[in-house]
């Protein structure tokens, strides 16, 4: 009799523990599936990083049908155009000065890097300007294009890295490396006003 009571008591405790564990797991799963805002609706964001639209009849993670996706994109672009129209009047002389100053600073940094093999991780003393004085024959306006060295269609930054790895005997730069951005800004600035001709050789 005593054994039977002990058995029922242990079984009851185990049952409660299992139910509690199961509830904790389901609650945690529900919490993880919800976005930080608390809503489980799909939120679409434009590439401006600010314009957002919450889709009332779609859940987070859902794939929109093509027609619905096009309608959402149309609404987003309309909202963006409206914001831009308001924003133009808000841009001040100080804003423009900041943009110009930052652009100039990055281009100047790119110019320095173009002439400094050590700063780009070169190992044999050859810098970009030794083969391309004043960024000559870099033709940034012709990228993307097929490059025989890479045997594929390449971007300007692909070729910058190819040059760092091969003529300069260094290591390639990550895509988000400030040095890569500066080099692209400098090289592109030397062709200002030249029409874009991707693929031209």
Domain extent at residue 182: 93-189
Same domain, 158 and 185: yes
Asked if the model's pLDDT at residue 7 lies above 80, the reply is: no
pLDDT tens for residues 82-141? 888 777 667 788 989 999 999 999 999 999 999 999 999 999 999 999 999 999 999 999
- The CATH number of whichever domain residue 116 belongs to comes to 1.10.760.10
Q: Is residue 131 assigned to a domain?
A: yes
Question: For residue 169, is it within any domain?
Answer: yes
Same domain, 75 and 98: no
Q: CA-CA distance, 70 to 80, in Å (whole number)?
A: 15
pTM of the model: 0.68
The C-alpha angle with vertex 64 and arms to 62 and 65, in degrees rounded to 5, equals 140
Question: Element (H or E) spanning 58, and its range?
Answer: strand 52-59
Residue 159 has pLDDT above 80, yes or no: yes
Banded model confidence at residue 3, pLDDT cuts 50, 70, 90:
very low
Domain assignment of residue 17, yes or no: no
49 and 84 co-located in one domain: yes
Q: Is residue 179 part of a domain?
A: yes
Please report whether residue 30 resides in a domain: no
Number of domains into which the chain is organized: 2
Q: Are residues 79 and 155 in the same domain?
A: no
* Average pLDDT for 153-169: 97
Supply angle C-alpha 61, 63, 67, rounded to 5.
Answer: 145
- CA neighbours closer than 13 Å in the CB half-sphere of residue 189: 18
Q: Is 42 helix (H, G, I), strand (E, B) or coil?
A: strand
Quick check: is 12 in a domain? no
Mean pLDDT confidence for 53-76: 89
């Amino acid at each position: 009799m005593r054994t039977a009571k002990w058995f029922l008591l242990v079984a009851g405790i185990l049952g409660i523990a299992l139910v509690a564990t199961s509830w904790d797991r389901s609650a945690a799963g529900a919490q993880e599936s919800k976005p930080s805002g608390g809503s489980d609706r799909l939120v679409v964001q434009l590439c401006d990083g600010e314009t957002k639209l919450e889709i009332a009849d779609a859940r987070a993670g859902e794939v929109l049908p093509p027609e619905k996706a096009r309608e959402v994109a149309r609404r987003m672009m309309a909202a963006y155009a409206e914001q831009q129209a308001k924003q133009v009047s808000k841009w001040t002389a100080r804003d423009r000065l900041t943009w110009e100053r930052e652009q100039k600073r990055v281009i100047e940094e790119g110019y320095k890097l173009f002439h400094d093999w050590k700063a780009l991780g070169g190992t044999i003393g050859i810098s970009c300007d030794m083969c391309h004085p004043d960024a000559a024959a870099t033709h940034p306006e012709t990228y993307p294009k097929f490059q025989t060295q890479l045997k594929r269609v390449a971007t300007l930054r692909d070729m910058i890295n190819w040059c760092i790895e091969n003529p300069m005997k260094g290591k390639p730069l990550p895509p988000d490396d400030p040095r890569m951005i500066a080099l692209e800004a400098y090289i592109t600035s030397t062709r200002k006003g030249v029409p874009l001709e991707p693929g031209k050789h």
